[in-house]
Chain A
Amino acid sequence: MNEIGGIYQLIVRIGEYSFHFNLTAIAMTWIVIALLLFFGYMASRRRHVLPNSMQVVGELLVAQFYGLTESTLGKERAKSYAPLIVALFMFLLLSNWIGAIPHMTEPTTDLNTPLSLGLMGFVLAHYAGIRAKGFKGYIKTYFEPIVFMLPMNLIGELAKVISISFRLFGNMMGGAIIILVVSHLIYSLVLPPFLYLFFSLFIGTIQAFVFTMLTVVYIAVQVD
């Protein structure tokens, strides 16, 4: 079970603080980004009325999530937020799927990736809230229904970040560990591929969708 404990780390010391970087997760993130850029290039390279296969997939994804954002946030706001939402989903989907390839690990099994994406959604939602309601109106929401609710509302907002990022992390990490342990316990050729199919592909897709959907919905809750 050495794989669980061993992490390739880069440790940078500045003064008395040391910063630990998980190199595997960073490398995997870059690989995912590279793959997505390549996909984007291929999908938009020769755009035709009769689309090629890449373009079909790309159009499908963009259209689906554009429509989804529009139905939740309204036409005006969808214009500014939908590109980010589509990109978020595609990044998460590929991140969760990449673990199915041998020697690759999902960057989402490192808590830092979901946490930073969750924080991004948090900042974005609150920025959207301030822009939509003005600073006064935004602050006012924290004193509802009564003034004393301020600490609870603050914690509730922070808990959203925790729940959204730990949900993704817990599911992906749980799946990865189950696959690892099962393949160690029974040296079977049949079961692990099925587990990959279930955890990486099926659960990964659902969790990527849930993460994206929740980000949209959190923005929607802030703006009105």
Chain B
Amino acid sequence: MAIEGVDLIHAASYIGAGIAMGLGAIGPGVGEGMVGAKACEAIGRNPSEAALLTRTMLVGQAVSESTGIYSLVVALLLLFVV
């Protein structure tokens, strides 16, 4: 076991990447679920607008997913750049 500078940095960056993506996925996951729930409710109330609602839902989910994508980017940076 040689725990030296470079090795330590690599180990920390791997674990950091794992935690960044892991915890970063919780919020968007729940948030997108809420968007989806509201969209289902809206379709239940007004089925004729299904196509529009689907698109709106996807845009909303894409926006709330952006924090998840930030975590992904950070994790990939930690893995491949550090």
Footprint of B on A, CB under 8 Å?
71-72, 74, 152, 155-156, 159, 217, 220-221, 224
Within the complex, which residue of A152, A155, A224 is in contact with B55, where a contact is CB–CB below 8 Å? Answer: A224
> Do A155 and B54 have beta carbons less than 8 Å apart?
no
- Knowing that A71-B51, A156-B66 are A-B contacts, what are 8 other residue pairs whose CB atoms are under 8 Å apart, sorted by A's residue number? A72-B54, A152-B69, A152-B70, A156-B62, A156-B69, A159-B65, A217-B58, A221-B59
The SS class assigned to the B binding surface is: helix
A156 cross-chain contacts in B, Cβ below 8 A: 62, 65-66, 69
Q: A155-B73, A220-B55 are in contact. Are A71 and B50 (CB under 8 A)?
A: yes
Q: Which 5 A-B pairs have the closest CB atoms?
A: A72-B51, A159-B69, A221-B58, A155-B69, A156-B69
Chain A contacts for B50, CB-based, 8 A:
71
Which residues of chain A are near B35, meaning CB under 8 Å? none
Cβ–Cβ < 8 Å partners of A155 in chain B: 69, 72-73
Interface size on B, residues (CB 8 A): 13
Give B68's nearest chain A residue, CB to CB. Answer: A159
Residues of B within 8 A of A (CB): 50-51, 54-55, 58-59, 62, 65-66, 69-70, 72-73
In the docked arrangement, what's the CA distance between A217 and B72, Å? Answer: 23
Q: Tell me the dominant secondary structure on chain A's binding face.
A: helix
The answer on a CB contact under 8 Å between B69 and A220 is no
A221 vs B59: C-alpha distance when bound (angstroms): 8
Q: List 9 A-B contacts (CB under 8 A).
A: A71-B50, A72-B54, A74-B51, A155-B69, A155-B73, A156-B65, A159-B65, A159-B69, A217-B54
**Nearest-CB residue, chain B, relative to A70:** B51
Within 8 Å CB of A220, what residues of B? 51, 54-55
Residues of B within 8 A of A74 (CB): 51
Instruction: Kindly state the separation between the CA atoms of A218 and B3 in the bound complex, as whole angstroms.
Output: 47
Contacts of B54 in A (CB 8 A): 72, 217, 220
